[in-house]
Amino acid sequence: MNPLNIVISISGIVLGVLSLVQVLMNRLMEPRLRRFFTGFFCVLIVYVASNFISMMVESYEGAAWAIVTRVFIFIESTASSLLMLLLTDLLLYTSGEKNYRRTPAFILALGLWFVYMALLTFTQFTDVIYTISAENNYRRGPLYPLLLVPPVLLMLVDFIAFLKRLGLFNHRQRGAFAAFLLIPTGAMLLQMQYYGVQLIVFGTTVAAFILFVYLLSDQTQRFYQREQENEHLRVDIMLSQIQPHFLYNTLGAIQSLCRTEPEEAERMVAKFARYLRGNMDSIAERKAIPFEKELEHTRLYLELEQLRYEDALSVSYDLPVTDFRIPTLTLQPLAENAVRHGVRGSLTGRGTVTISTAEHPDCFTVTVKDDGPGFDPERQNKSDGRSHIGLENVRERLARVSGGRLEIRSAPDEGTSAVIILPKGGV
């Protein structure tokens, strides 16, 4: 037994296990990629371990050892081919192609894998491809090259798919896939010249590690980039809510109360402080929060507006369900729009803002409705830059934090409804 092969196999198993542990502990990778690499390294470990076991028992004679060798060569060959199919899956997924498992490349790769497995299974009952004698001797048959055709074609499919989508990958992704395609291919060519040394096992293990490192680096960069974007988004939302005219008008209303109703003024100052503190706290909040907490922040805002507009602004609540989560600062901007453009935008300057919730089989909805003038969505006036940016921030935050969306429904003289849709699986 070649000592170098033992070193290669043990190193491959250790590297595979360490990589698998890293995948399971890592929280920067997107869930889909984490699941892929979990399965990928499990298959790699099985591949290298099966190769190691079959190599260890090949020197033992006897029918029982022949069965052991046959079983582990079968497992090794299956795992090896499965790694190539998994590479096809990852390559097409990373390219961003929708319904990639219905593309000709994936269908062809899957078909070649099934052909290979059929040949490998057929081999167990004949000696025309390879056989293992009762003395535990491995021998290739006259049709052995036939067994190599599907893997070679599968690798060719991966090469072509990679080259056709080269422009869809960033430099890290290109390096990752190039390594996994070229290194095992080079190892296979060298194996033909140096038979007896497990170069293919070595090349596959090294290529898998490089693939993981490159894509992990890419995922890490994307994670921190998303965090930076979320940070900017949180600041934008906060600034869009703390508007100077709102601060000045609220303070002016409180000042007036100080002369006539000092106790009410004190109560409103406490509410105003809680409202500002809620805005500040929202900057650090990265996950969805209980709806009741977001509702409380919105109540404070509406009560401060009612202080200014008195009986010109009415607020109604219809909340049969509140036990769900919602991203921060998504409800209050909608209430503000309802007050500014709905109630205050009407001819009388008077109206009602209604906040309601509902539960559906697959989602929760939160509706902010006003009875103002409404508008034609097809001819919406976007001259109010601040309002438009506020709604876009809400849409972006809903999508990023909970996979939700915002729908605006309106018609002239029928008011406007802003509907937050929160999928149950995302909150």
More confident residue, 246 or 270: 270
Q: Are 201 and 371 in contact (CB under 8 A)?
A: no
The residues that bridge with 423 in the sheet, in sequence order, are 363
Q: How far apart are CA 41 and CA 23, in angstroms?
A: 9
At 381-424, the pLDDT tens digits run 544 444 555 788 788 888 888 889 999 998 888 889 999 999 98
Residue 360 has pLDDT above 90, yes or no: yes
What percent of the chain clears pLDDT 90, i.e. is strictly above it? Answer: 33
Min mean pLDDT across 9-13, 198-202, 360-364, 401-405 is at 198-202
322 pLDDT more than 90: yes
What is the rounded distance in angstroms from the CA atom of residue 297 to the CA atom of residue 279?
Answer: 8
pLDDT at 41: 92
**pTM for the model:** 0.57
pLDDT at 425: 72
Task: Give the three-class secondary structure for 192.
Answer: helix
Average pLDDT (155-165) is: 92
Average pLDDT over residues 277-303: 79
Asked if residue 56 lies in contact with residue 1, where contact means CB atoms within 8 angstroms, the answer is yes
The better pLDDT of the pair 197, 400 is held by 400
Contact indicator for 282, 298 with CB cutoff of 8 Å: no
Q: Kindly list the distances between the CA atom of residue 401 and the CA atoms of 40, 115, 150, 286, 332, in Å, as whole numbers in the listed order.
A: 29, 44, 44, 8, 17
Residue-wise burial string across 161-177, b where 16 or more C-beta atoms lie within 10 A, e elsewhere: bbeebeeebeebbbbbb
Bigger pLDDT: 53 vs 8: 53
Report the pLDDT averaged over residues 184-200: 75
Q: Which residues contact 414 (CB under 8 A, 6 or more apart)?
A: 374
Q: What is the mean pLDDT of the chain?
A: 84
pLDDT higher than threshold 50 for residue 153: yes
Q: Read off the pLDDT of each residue in 100-127 and give the average, rounded to a whole number.
A: 93
What is the distance between the alpha carbons of residues 108 and 256, in angstroms, rounded to a whole number? 77
Q: What is the pLDDT of residues 36-64, one digit of tens each?
A: 999 999 999 999 999 899 888 888 888 89
Q: Report the 10 Å Cβ neighbour count for 365.
A: 17
Strand partners, 241: none
Q: What is d(CA 161, CA 89) in angstroms, rounded to the nearest whole number?
A: 11
pLDDT at position 384 is 45
Q: Look up residue 44 and give its two tokens.
A: 């790699």
**Highest mean pLDDT: which of 206-220, 269-283, 312-326?**
312-326
DSSP-assigned beta bridge partners for residue 132 = 138
Percent of the chain with pLDDT over 70: 87
Predicted confidence band at 308 (pLDDT cuts at 50, 70, 90)? confident
Please report where in the chains the tokens 């167990």 appear, as a residue. Answer: 124
Question: How many C-beta neighbours within 10 Å does residue 106 have?
Answer: 21
Structure letter (DSSP) for residue 199: H
Strand partners, 368: 355, 418
pLDDT beyond 60 at 78? yes
d(CA 334, CA 151): 57
pLDDT tens-digit series, residues 327-351: 888 898 899 889 988 888 887 888 9
pLDDT of 351 reads 92
Res 117 pLDDT > 60: yes
Q: Which has the higher per-residue pLDDT, 383 or 238? A: 238
Domains within the chain, CATH numbers bracketed: 3-223 (1.20.1070.10), 242-426 (3.30.565.10)
* pLDDT of amino acid 235: 56
